[in-house]
Every structure is written in structure tokens, then in C-alpha cells.
Structure 1
Amino acid sequence: MFSWLPNALTISRCVFAVLVLFAAFKATGIEALLADAGVTGLERQRYTTFQQLWHQFALLAFISGMLTDFLDGWAARAFKAESRFGVWLDPIADKLLVGAALIALSLALKTWLIYVPAALILARDVFMTWLRTRPEASGIVAPSRLAKWKTAAEMVAITGLMLPLALWPLPETPSGGGALHWSAVITGALVLALWVAAGLSLLTGGQYVKAVQSHRR
């Protein structure tokens, strides 16, 4: 009766990824308006409020997408509704959600501390998505414990870095717009977690490539 639910949740995760990107571009557009010296007073305050609301929307969309990642697996097991389509789409939906959030953070924070790990993770995910389409990679390597640690590091880092954007408008943060803010210790730990996730992404990607090469032999 509920066999459609797991795939519906997975598809919804793709939709949430699009919503994260949409909100990020809307917030960036407002940032350009705030940079205009002619915008002052109540108009600037209104733009600042709208920008913060878009950051809040992006965070809620990301968290909602993470919840579907847990729920679709639970639903597939609970209703015995695993399908080839779901197995194929699930990792793609995960990568879309993470990729959208990394682009959102890069647009908002504008620092190489985000650009570099984000680029590494995105490049690895694009490569892995392509590799999984190859016939020789079919059915090889289930997600390892290391890959799960990588995913956990990504989710913690992304959520933690998106949170202050949702709580405080960028122009009103102590360090100003376009820069990392919040407590230096907390921010440093979150950025480190993102770099760890990037390193684990490359490591698990390398393991997957080695497994495919071994299978071909």
C-alpha cells in the first residue's frame, strides 16, 4: 500500500536541493542590493530581513532533505519496498542536496576556506555519479563505514555553517558580510569538519575506483 513512499521521499530530497539553491540565489541577489550605497534606512532594513528569511528557508530545506534521507531508508525496510529505481536515485539525491548546500555556503561566505573543500567534494561527487553509470561499476561497493563518517562530517559542517546565516543577517554580524562569523572556535571546528569531509570524499572515491579496477581484472 505504501510501496511508493520511499521513492517519493527520495524524489522530494531532489526538490529540497533545488529549493536550497533557489533560496541561496535569492539571498545573493539581495546582497547585491545591500551593496548599493543608495539603499539606506528602512529600505536597507527590509532587504536585510528578506535576506535572512531566505537563509532560513535554505536551512529548513536542507534539514528537511536530510530527514528524507533517513526516512526513505526506513520506509523501504518497513514496507519492504526497495526498488532498483530507489537504489539508483538515492545516492544522486544525496549528492544533489549536499552540492546545493555547498554552493549556497560558497555564495554567502565567499572565502577559500569554503571554496576549496566544496570544490573537492563536488568534483568527487560528479565523478562518482558518472562512474556508477558505467557497466563495470554496477553493484560494486556498498557504502562503507568511512563513507558514513564522511556523510556525517558533511551534514554537521554544512548545518553548523548555515545556522548563523539563518540567525543573524550578514551585514549585522561582528565580522561583516561575506566573511565567516560566529564564535571563532565553533567556526573553526565546523570548517575543519568540512575539510575532513573533503578528505574522506577523496579517500572513499579512491577506494571505489580501486574496487572497480579489481572487479574488471
Structure 2
Amino acid sequence: MFAWIPNALTISRCVFAALVLFAAFKASGIEPLLADAGVTGLERQRYATFQQLWHQFGLLAFISGMLTDFLDGWAARAFKAESRFGVWLDPIADKLLVGAALIALALALKTWLIYIPAALILARDVFMTWLRTRPEAAGIVAPSRLAKWKTAAEMMAITGLMLPLALWPIPEAPSGGDGLHWSALVTGALVLGLWVAAALSLLTGAQYVKAIKGSQR
């Protein structure tokens, strides 16, 4: 009776990924208006508010997608409704959600500190999706403990970097004195977490390739 719920949750994660990407492009489209010298202060404030609302929408969509990642696995076990379709779609939905969020961050923050780890993670995820279609990978390419740590690092770093865009689109300057502001330290730690996730992505990808080559000997 409830066997459809796990797959419905997994499909909804794909929808949330599309919503994250939609919100990112809408927020990015407001940037030229904020940079327009002819825009008055009141208009600029209104545009900044709309941009922040789109960032909030994207963050809520991403968090909702993360919740479905937990709920679909729980529902599959609770209702004994595991299916081949769900096993195939679940990792793809995860990669779509993470990929959409990484593109959103790249559009918003516009720095190579985001571009490089995002590109590495996206490239690895595309490769792993292709690898899972290979017959020699059947039964070998399964989530490892290290891959789960990688996913956790991705989710924490992405959520942490999206949060200030939704709450404080323009970071406040230090109130006085020299030294690093606390927000810069937190942002630096989150960016470092994203680089760690990229490194773990490459490492787990290499492990899967090694396992497949070992099975063919």
C-alpha cells in the first residue's frame, strides 16, 4: 500500500534540485540591476531584498531535498519497499541535488575557491553515474563508508555557504580594529570543507575504479 512512497521521495529530490537551480538563476539575474549606476538607492534595496528571497527559496529547496535523502531510505526499510528503480535513481538524485547547489554557489560567490572544488565534484559525479551503467561495475560500485563521509562534508559545506546568502547577502564589515572578522573565519572553514569534500570525491572515485579493475583480473 505504501510501496510508492520511497520512490516518490526520491523523485521529489530531483524536483528540489531543479528548484535550487531555478532560484540560483533568478538571484543571479538580479545582479546586473544591483550594479546599474542608474538605479536609485530605494530600488537597489528592493532588488537586494528580492535577491535574498530567491537565495532563501534555494536554501529551503536544498534542505528539503536533503530531508528526502534521509526519508526515502527510512521509508524503503519501514515499508519493505526497496526496488531496483529506487536503487538506481537514489544516487542520481543525490548528485543532481548536490550539483544544483554547487552551481548555485558558483553563480552567487563568483570565486575560483568555489569553481575548482565544484568542478571536481561535478566531474567525479558525472563519471560515477556513467560508471554505474557499465556491466563490469555491477555489484561493485556501492556507497562506501568514505563516500558517506564525503557526502556529509558536501552537505555541511554547501548548507553553511548558502545560509549567509539567505540571511545576510552582504556581510558586515568588521566593527573596528585589525584582524580577521569571525564571519571570514567561518566562511574559510566552510570553503575548506568543500575542498575536503572534493578531495574525498576523487579518492572514492579512484577506489571504485581500482575495485573494478581488481575484479577483472
Normalising by structure 2, we get a TM-score of 0.94
Mapping of residues 82-97 of structure 1, within 5 Å: 82-97=82-97
The percent of aligned pairs where both chains have the same amino acid is 88
* Structure 1 position 182, deviation (Å): 6.8
Q: Aligned partner of 1:104: which letter?
A: A
Mapping of residues 60-209 of structure 1, within 5 Å: 60-170=60-170, 173-174=172-173, 183-209=183-209
* Structure 1 position 169, deviation (Å): 2.5
Aligned Cα RMSD in Å?
Answer: 1.4
* Structure 1 position 157, deviation (Å): 0.2
Unaligned runs of 5+ in 2: 175-180
* Structure 1 position 168, deviation (Å): 1.3
Q: Aligned partner of 1:54: which letter?
A: W
Q: Deviations over 1:9-34 (max 9, x none)?
A: 00000000000000000000001211
Q: Deviations over 1:38-95 (max 9, x none)?
A: 1112211111100000000000000000000000000000000000000000000000
Quick check: 1:3–1:79 contact (8 Å CA) kept in 2?
Answer: yes
Misfit runs of 4+, over 6 Å:
none
Q: Aligned partner of 1:159: which letter?
A: T
Q: Does 1:39 find its partner at 2:39? A: yes
C-alpha separation in 1, matches of 2:214 and 2:51 = 50
Unaligned runs of 5+ in 1: 176-180
Q: How many residues align?
A: 211
C-alpha separation in 1, matches of 2:101 and 2:115 = 12
Q: Does 1:10 find its partner at 2:13? A: no
In the alignment, what sits opposite 1:25? 25
Q: Aligned partner of 1:47: which letter?
A: Y
Q: Deviations over 1:74-118 (max 9, x none)?
A: 000000000000000000000000000000000000111101100
In the alignment, what sits opposite 2:178? none
Quick check: 2:62–2:101 contact (8 Å CA) kept in 1?
Answer: yes
